Amino acid sequence: MDQSVNLEYPESEAASLKNLVFRQDAAPDLFLGCYLRKEEVQIDSPIPNPNPNNPNSGNTSSSSLELVGYIVSTLVSGDHLTHSSMSSHNPSGDAVCIHSVCVSTAFQRRGVATRMLKEYLQHLQRLNNNMNASTSMNKLKRVLLIAHEHTIGLYAGVGFVLIGQSSVEHGPDPWFEMVYTLDH
């Protein structure tokens, strides 16, 4: 997880390592990482398929993998994100709040975020489809995030719908709330 801090947002908006660790510990099923083998981390490396959560699958140890992108979320309740709902994890929440979508600078504008988001939305739908009476989580109704104006197109491209300007203030620029509705 400490690799994630290097990929984060501008300093005024970046999550601290403490917050990232809290979010991944609280909701490990909601973390998605995109990894490359360290010897393959070159600018012309082919982009791998994003791996859900555990980078240890297969015979590659996590210490030989480099994180090139990730998505981290927690659960919240309700139709909209607020400063308060984004500050904690509600295990019985029915909405996924995406806090961070980050891609290493060297790998940006090559479709990594788009591929991670598509895989992530399918992963959430699979979680919903596989839920049964013994599952502790509630069915997930929607995925919410806040984005700056210039990244609205990125999220709209994978199916998010713009709700409008968010009440959340974090850093100098306004945030826009977007939603993706899951089948439940």
Asked if 75 is part of the footprint of ligand COA (rule: CB under 6 A), the reply reads no
Asked if 18 is part of the footprint of ligand COA (rule: CB under 6 A), the reply reads no
With CB under 6 A as the contact rule, the residue among 15, 102, 144, 182 that binds ligand COA is 102
* Residue from 93, 87, 101, 80 nearest 138 by CA: 93
**Which one of 23-31, 120-128, 150-158, 160-168 is the stretch in contact with ligand COA (CB under 6 A)?**
150-158
Asked if 76 is part of the footprint of ligand COA (rule: CB under 6 A), the reply reads no
Token pair 């791996």 is found at 51
Number of residues in contact with ligand COA, rule: CB under 6 A? 17
Token pair 């090139």 is found at 68
Asked if 113 is part of the footprint of ligand COA (rule: CB under 6 A), the reply reads yes
With CB under 6 A as the contact rule, the residue among 111, 162, 169, 181 that binds ligand COA is 111
For the residues of 151-177, what is the DSSP string, one character each? Answer: GHHHHHTTT-EEEEE-S---SSS--EE
With CB under 6 A as the contact rule, the residue among 1, 3, 5, 9 that binds ligand COA is 9
Question: Is 156 in contact with 113 (CB distance < 8 Å)?
Answer: no
What lies within 8 Å, CB to CB, of 161 at 6+ separation is 178, 179, 180, 181
Q: Residues interacting with ligand COA, by CB under 6 A?
A: 9, 101-103, 108-114, 147-148, 150-151, 153-154
